[in-house]
């Protein structure tokens, strides 16, 4: 029996995960603690918070595992810098400094920072960590596992056979042939920030038509049997341009969109062109993933598929895989991106040490816990009204019913980038005016981006077609609402007629389940708009401090529910 | 007291305020600094054991976030490119402990106040009332920060010795940062030289890739996607 800490970090979405005696006891994103969105730090805060959550001293750890092999990654970097010569002098200088000063010695730094003997600190291959993060917490005894991201050490894509407590690699593609890099290049081309804007590109795609598929097929060649290749001429990743795409792509598609210019899809033909390009990139990505999934189906005689890696967060694509790839079940764990590598790394080492495979992931609430008492005290000191009403959910449902916004911060924070009922901002789902107010007054997002619904698991089938019960609890796929439910869901249906459904059960998200039940009792409506508890450019709230700070600074939000404490504004 | 910062602020304010490009760059720098300060205060709020100071630090953090937004918005009006602000900060609370941290906050806010006063006067004198108004808004909070941090002195036992220690620490940190800038420039030059040494390797790599030929994959029909 062992206590193993997994770590991902020093690139983006740093995280730590703790597995004790084969049980996932904590998993946290560094950004929820250091308050830097997509934090690229070595996640010391998250690591310590995981240990504190389990009541374990770092010295009692049996192993600490980093989610990639630092020297293998350095080798790939050097090889690529040789190939891109002479286009990367600044990038060469900067990346070598980062590598030599920090990244290469990350295992030593982890040992020193955590006070764990160096002999207990090791690393595992990036894509193996991704695969482990998906398969070992899935409900499947046997499954094909597909890992797809930008790049790990050398691998960008891999197919694995998962069986019991083992993972066996069946196929892989290497850098630079990468779906993640392709999507990142189009993300940068359309003016979004890479590693942040990929999901914006996915949302934008729904507004376009795929009329650039022909052009983009020259960039991403889809081969037979799941193979694909990028034409390097169109890319400029890892050079001084720092854009990801090259001048050749602009010659092919026209000028790139400048960053941070407001979008106007209704009036700007240029913006509609970018939406068409986004749609074309999305279609090609989905086709590539379908090819890979079908190959996985052939290579691995299993009826279930697990996905991991940043590309697995593309919930439109996961819905297509569930419908068309030939598997009866598909699972994507909530932190499918790099953060999830921490969880995979920890599980891999725990299995090596003889621990049993973890139970399937139940609740995503693996993060930092709220201290409602401390939050109430803080809110009072900041001049907010604090009460402990006998039926707080009834009061919250009242506010929601009249079109108000309620922030919910309860229990332990979510694992993964989605609000799943623990750090959520809630509103009516049947009112597009309320949706627009959430966007304009709180979230400050591009107007083309959709909001997601939360509904009780018991109501999901009545409201949506083909609910993928393995993914909807973690909001990692989309579903199509039933005609009869469109009025009830008008604020949470995307322009392509889908919704990123969050199905809620009492076991997984008790507070949100109770609030949804109360809302249905009092209004007859079964869905709430559920978005993450953060303002523009901020990480999701972690602690009660963050939740109270969010509420104090967003006057459009009417109430904050901190466990059983209701925080409201005092009348002026 | 005239600190080095406020001395330079007074010296350079007349130059900065007359050129909107320079003003925009400076305001962006301030926005970044304020955002970094907000992180420092958030971390302090998460670490202190006192509920009173937690509320004070958090309120301070929210002020700094607001300042960052003010400065960034004004910078954009003056022509700065619209980019996401990225802050860099040290966890000063953890480095120094709370007693010295409060002394540090007090000194830093007083320094900021003097610097911003110089710029506020400068922009007002140059006829840029809008930028001056941003500084005036920020200054109102800065003065409050100077006061509240001083109010904690007695409670935490901050005396002259602590203030002197923090002054020395700040001087060492400033020297380290300067050294880091110099080292960074030196490192960059050395790396450029090293980069040039990649020439033969890159030639070999190109020859190899020519021999290997293009990766063979059969492109699917475009018609596949026309649906």
- pLDDT tens digits along B79-120: 998 888 888 899 999 999 999 999 999 999 999 999 999 999
Q: Which residues of B70-91 are buried (b: 16+ CB within 10 A; e: fewer)?
A: bbbebbbebebeeeebebebeb
What is the strand order of the sheet A527-532 is part of?
A385-387, A565-568, A559-562, A406-409, A423-428, A527-532, A452-456, A502-504
What is the dihedral sign for C-alpha B120, B126, B131, B132?
A: positive
Select from A33, A83, A276 the residue whose CB has the most chain B CBs within 10 Å, as the one to mutate to test that interface. A83
- pLDDT tens digits along B160-185: 999 999 999 999 999 999 999 999 99
Compute the nearest-CA separation of B221 from chain A (Å).
9
Full DSSP string of A487-543: TTTTTS--TTS-B--EEE-TTT-HHHHHHHHHHHHHHS--EEEEEES--TTPPPP-S
SS3 B31: helix
Cβ distance A85 to B225 less than 8 Å, yes or no, reads no
The DSSP element (H or E) to which A168 belongs, if any, is: strand A166-174
Q: Quick one: pLDDT at residue B21?
A: 92
B42 inside 8 A of chain A by CB: yes
Closest residue in A to B85 (Cα) is A537
Q: Quick one: pLDDT at residue B46?
A: 97
Cβ distance B51 to A36 less than 8 Å, yes or no, reads no
- A-chain residues within 8 Å CB-CB of B188? 90, 93
pLDDT band at B78 (very low <50, low <70, confident <90, very high): very high
Here the tokens at position A12 are: 């983006």
- A-chain residues within 8 Å CB-CB of B62? 549, 552-553
Per the prediction, chain B carries an average pLDDT of 89
Using CA atoms, how far apart are residues A326 and A519, in angstroms rounded to an integer?
Answer: 38
Using CA atoms, how far apart are residues A120 and A108, in angstroms rounded to an integer?
Answer: 10
- pLDDT tens digits along B36-65: 999 999 999 999 999 999 999 999 999 999
Q: Quick one: pLDDT at residue A559?
A: 98
Cβ distance A381 to B55 less than 8 Å, yes or no, reads yes
Q: Quick one: pLDDT at residue B86?
A: 85
Query: Which pTM value belongs to this model?
Result: 0.94
> Which is it for strands A3-8 and A63-66: parallel, antiparallel or unpaired?
parallel
Separation of first and last alpha carbons in chain A:
58
The class level of CATH for A3-126+344-351 reads: alpha beta
Higher pLDDT pick, A68 / B3: A68
Cβ distance A227 to B58 less than 8 Å, yes or no, reads no
Full DSSP string of A11-51: SSS-EEEEEETTEEEEEEETHHHH--TT--S--HHHHHHHH
Using CA atoms, how far apart are residues B61 and A262, in angstroms rounded to an integer?
Answer: 28
Cβ distance A97 to B222 less than 8 Å, yes or no, reads no
Q: Quick one: pLDDT at residue A8?
A: 98
Q: Say which of B187, B199, B205 has its CB closest to residue A93.
A: B187
Higher pLDDT pick, B88 / B126: B126
Compute the nearest-CA separation of B11 from chain A (Å).
33
Compute the nearest-CA separation of A137 from chain B (Å).
32
B46 inside 8 A of chain A by CB: yes
Neighbours of B205 (CB within 10 A): 17
Q: Could you tell me how many helices (H) and strands (E) chain A has, helices first?
A: 19, 26
Q: Which long-range contacts (CB under 8 A, 24 or more apart) does A264-271 make?
A: A265/A207, A265/A448
Closest residue in B to A379 (Cα) is B55
Q: Say which of A85, A217, A549 has its CB closest to residue B202.
A: A85
Whether the CB-CB separation of B36 and B104 falls below 8 Å is answered with no
User: What residues have CB less than 8 Å from A472, skipping those under 6 apart?
Assistant: A460, A479, A501, A502, A503
Give Dmax over CA atoms of chain A in angstroms: 69
> Which is it for strands A166-174 and A155-163: parallel, antiparallel or unpaired?
antiparallel
What are the distances in angstroms from CA B55 to CA A346, A529, A552? 37, 31, 12
Cβ distance B220 to A222 less than 8 Å, yes or no, reads yes
pLDDT band at B214 (very low <50, low <70, confident <90, very high): very low
- Which residues of chain B from 76 to 135 reach within 8 Å of chain A, CB to CB? 81-85, 87
Q: Percent of chain B having pLDDT more than 70? A: 90
Here the tokens at position A52 are: 């504190």
Whether the CB-CB separation of A71 and A122 falls below 8 Å is answered with no
Whether the CB-CB separation of A303 and A389 falls below 8 Å is answered with no
Using CA atoms, how far apart are residues A17 and A51, in angstroms rounded to an integer?
Answer: 9
Q: Tell me how many degrees the CA angle A34-B138-B155 measures, rounded to the nearest 5.
A: 65
Q: Quick one: pLDDT at residue B220?
A: 38
Task: Evaluate if residue B227 carries a pLDDT over 60.
Answer: no
Compute the nearest-CA separation of B55 from chain A (Å).
6
User: What residues have CB less than 8 Å from A321, skipping those under 6 apart?
Assistant: A289, A290, A293, A305, A307, A327, A330
B208 inside 8 A of chain A by CB: no
Give the residue numbers of A annotated as catalytic, written as ranges. 12
Using CA atoms, how far apart are residues A442 and A564, in angstroms rounded to an integer?
Answer: 24
Q: Say which of A217, A227, A378 has its CB closest to residue B54.
A: A378
- pLDDT tens digits along B137-162: 999 999 999 999 999 999 999 999 99
Identical fold at A3-126+344-351 and A367-568?
Answer: no
Here the tokens at position A83 are: 């190939």
Compute the nearest-CA separation of B189 from chain A (Å).
8
Cβ distance A213 to B226 less than 8 Å, yes or no, reads yes
Cβ distance A545 to B42 less than 8 Å, yes or no, reads yes
- A-chain residues within 8 Å CB-CB of B220? 217, 222-223, 287
Cβ distance B42 to A548 less than 8 Å, yes or no, reads no
Task: Evaluate if residue B13 carries a pLDDT over 80.
Answer: no
Residue B81 DSSP code? -
Using CA atoms, how far apart are residues B134 and B17, in angstroms rounded to an integer?
Answer: 13
Cβ distance B65 to A553 less than 8 Å, yes or no, reads yes
Residue written as tokens 């919930």?
A: A315
Closest residue in A to B223 (Cα) is A214
Cβ distance A93 to B188 less than 8 Å, yes or no, reads yes
Closest residue in A to B65 (Cα) is A553
Cβ distance A549 to B61 less than 8 Å, yes or no, reads yes
Compute the nearest-CA separation of A358 from chain B (Å).
32
Closest residue in B to A193 (Cα) is B84
* Burial bucket for residue A301 (CB in 10 Å: 0-12, 13-18, 19+): exposed
Neighbours of B212 (CB within 10 A): 8
Here the tokens at position A144 are: 């094909």
User: What residues have CB less than 8 Å from B124, skipping those under 6 apart?
Assistant: B132
- Segment-wise mean pLDDT, segments of 10 residues, chain A, 572 residues: 96 97 98 96 98 96 98 94 89 92 97 98 98 98 98 97 98 95 96 93 98 97 93 83 84 94 95 98 98 96 97 97 97 98 98 98 96 98 96 97 97 97 98 94 94 98 92 97 97 97 97 98 98 96 98 97 95 68
* Burial bucket for residue B123 (CB in 10 Å: 0-12, 13-18, 19+): buried
Residue A328 DSSP code? S
Q: Quick one: pLDDT at residue A237?
A: 73
Cβ distance A381 to B195 less than 8 Å, yes or no, reads no
Q: Left if phi > 0, otherwise alpha if psi is -120 to 50, otherwise beta: which for A13?
A: left
pLDDT band at B217 (very low <50, low <70, confident <90, very high): very low
User: What residues have CB less than 8 Å from A507, skipping those under 6 apart?
Assistant: A362, A363
Using CA atoms, how far apart are residues B68 and B83, in angstroms rounded to an integer?
Answer: 13
Q: Quick one: pLDDT at residue B2?
A: 54
Model ipTM value: 0.94
Using CA atoms, how far apart are residues A300 and A43, in angstroms rounded to an integer?
Answer: 35
Closest of A130, A139, A143 to residue A296, by C-alpha:
A143
What are the distances in angstroms from CA A145 to CA A140, A329, A330, A452? 11, 12, 10, 27
Closest of B149, B68, B168 to residue B106, by C-alpha:
B149
CATH code given to domain A179-332: 3.30.420.40
Residue written as tokens 């729904």?
A: A206
Chain centre distance of CA A505: 21
Span A367-568 CATH architecture: Alpha-Beta Complex (3.90)
pLDDT band at B3 (very low <50, low <70, confident <90, very high): low
Whether the CB-CB separation of B23 and B16 falls below 8 Å is answered with yes
The DSSP element (H or E) to which B189 belongs, if any, is: helix B160-196
Q: Say which of B62, B184, B198 has its CB closest to residue A552.
A: B62
Q: Say which of B59, B192, B225 has its CB closest to residue A287.
A: B225
B29 inside 8 A of chain A by CB: no
SS3 A63: strand
Full DSSP string of A105-144: GHHHHHHHHHT--GGGEEE--HHHHHHHHHHTTSS-SEEE
Domain coordinates of chain A in residue numbers?
3-126+344-351, 179-332, 367-568
B199 inside 8 A of chain A by CB: yes
């Amino acid at each position: 029996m062992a206590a193993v800490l997994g770590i991902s970090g020093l690139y983006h979405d740093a995280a730590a995960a703790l597995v004790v005696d084969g049980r996932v006891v904590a998993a946290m994103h560094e950004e929820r603690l250091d308050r830097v969105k997509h934090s690229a730090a070595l996640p010391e805060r998250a690591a310590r918070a995981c240990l504190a959550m389990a009541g374990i001293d770092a010295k009692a750890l049996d192993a600490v595992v980093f989610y990639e092999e630092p020297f293998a990654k350095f080798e790939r970097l050097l090889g690529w810098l040789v190939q891109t010569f002479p286009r990367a002098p600044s990038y060469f200088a900067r990346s070598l400094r980062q590598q030599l000063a920090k990244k290469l010695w990350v295992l030593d730094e982890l040992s020193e920072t955590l006070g764990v003997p160096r002999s207990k600190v090791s690393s595992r291959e990036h894509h193996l960590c991704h695969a482990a993060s998906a398969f070992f917490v899935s409900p499947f005894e046997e499954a094909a596992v597909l890992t797809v991201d930008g790049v790990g050490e050398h691998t960008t894509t891999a197919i694995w056979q998962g069986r019991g407590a083992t993972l066996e690699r069946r196929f892989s593609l290497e850098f630079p042939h990468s779906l993640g890099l392709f999507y990142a290049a189009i993300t940068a081309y359309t003016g979004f920030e890479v590693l942040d804007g990929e999901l914006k590109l996915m949302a934008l795609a729904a507004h376009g038509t795929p009329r650039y598929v022909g052009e983009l097929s020259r960039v991403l060649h889809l081969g037979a049997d799941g193979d694909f290749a990028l034409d390097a001429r169109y890319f400029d990743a890892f050079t001084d341009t720092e854009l990801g795409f090259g001048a050749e792509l602009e010659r092919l598609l026209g000028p790139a969109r400048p960053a941070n210019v407001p979008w106007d899809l209704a009036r700007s033909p240029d913006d509609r062109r970018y939406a068409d390009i986004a749609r074309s990139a999305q279609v090609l990505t989905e086709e590539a993933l379908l090819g890979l999934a079908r190959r996985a189906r052939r290579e691995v005689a299993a009826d279930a598929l697990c996905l991991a890696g940043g590309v697995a967060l593309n919930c439109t694509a996961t819905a297509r895989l569930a419908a068309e790839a030939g598997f009866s079940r598909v699972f994507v764990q909530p932190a499918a991106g790099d953060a999830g590598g921490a969880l995979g790394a920890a599980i891999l080492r725990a299995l090596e040490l003889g621990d049993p495979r973890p139970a399937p992931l139940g609740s995503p609430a693996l993060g930092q816990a709220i201290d409602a008492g401390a939050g109430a005290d803080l809110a009072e000191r900041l001049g907010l009204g604090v009460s402990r009403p006998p039926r707080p959910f009834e009061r919250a449902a009242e506010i929601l019913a009249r079109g108000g916004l309620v922030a919910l911060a309860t229990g332990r924070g979510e694992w993964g980038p989605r609000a799943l009922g623990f750090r959520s901002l809630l509103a009516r789902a049947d009112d597009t005016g309320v949706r627009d107010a959430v966007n304009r007054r709180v979230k400050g997002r591009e107007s083309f981006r959709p909001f997601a619904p939360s509904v009780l698991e018991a109501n999901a089938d009545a409201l949506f077609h083909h609910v993928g019960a393995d993914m909807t609890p973690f909001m990692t796929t989309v579903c199509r609402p039933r005609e009869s439910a469109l009025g009830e869901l008008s604020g949470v249906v995307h322009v392509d007629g889908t919704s990123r459904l969050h199905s809620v059960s009492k076991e997984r998200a008790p507070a949100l389940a109770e609030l949804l039940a109360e809302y249905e009792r009092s209004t007859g409506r079964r869905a709430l708009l559920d978005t993450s508890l953060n303002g523009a450019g901020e990480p999701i709230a972690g602690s009660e401090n963050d939740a109270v700070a969010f509420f104090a600074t967003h006057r459009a939000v009417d109430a904050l529910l901190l466990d059983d404490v209701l925080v409201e504004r005092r009348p002026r | 007291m005239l600190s080095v910062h406020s001395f330079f602020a007074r010296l350079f304010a007349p130059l900065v305020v007359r050129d909107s490009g320079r003003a925009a760059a400076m305001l962006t720098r301030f926005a970044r600094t304020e955002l970094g300060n907000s992180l420092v205060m958030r971390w302090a709020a998460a670490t202190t054991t006192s509920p009173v100071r937690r509320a004070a630090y958090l309120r301070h953090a929210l002020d700094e976030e607001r300042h960052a937004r003010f400065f960034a918005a004004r910078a954009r009006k003056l022509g700065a490119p619209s980019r996401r602000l990225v802050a860099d900060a040290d966890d000063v609370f953890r480095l120094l402990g709370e007693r010295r941290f409060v002394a540090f906050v007090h000194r830093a806010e007083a320094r900021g106040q003097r610097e911003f006063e110089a710029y506020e006067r400068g922009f007002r004198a140059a006829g840029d009332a809008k930028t001056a108004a941003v500084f005036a808004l920020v200054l109102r909070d800065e003065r409050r920060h100077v006061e509240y941090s001083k109010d904690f002195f007695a409670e935490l036992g901050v005396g002259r010795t602590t203030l002197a220690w923090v002054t020395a620490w700040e001087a060492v940190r400033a020297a380290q940062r300067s050294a880091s800038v110099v080292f960074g420039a030196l490192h960059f030059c050395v790396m450029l030289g090293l980069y040039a040494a990649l020439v033969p390797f890159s030639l070999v790599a190109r020859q190899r890739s020519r021999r290997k030929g293009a990766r063979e994959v059969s492109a699917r029909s475009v018609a596949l996607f026309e649906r």
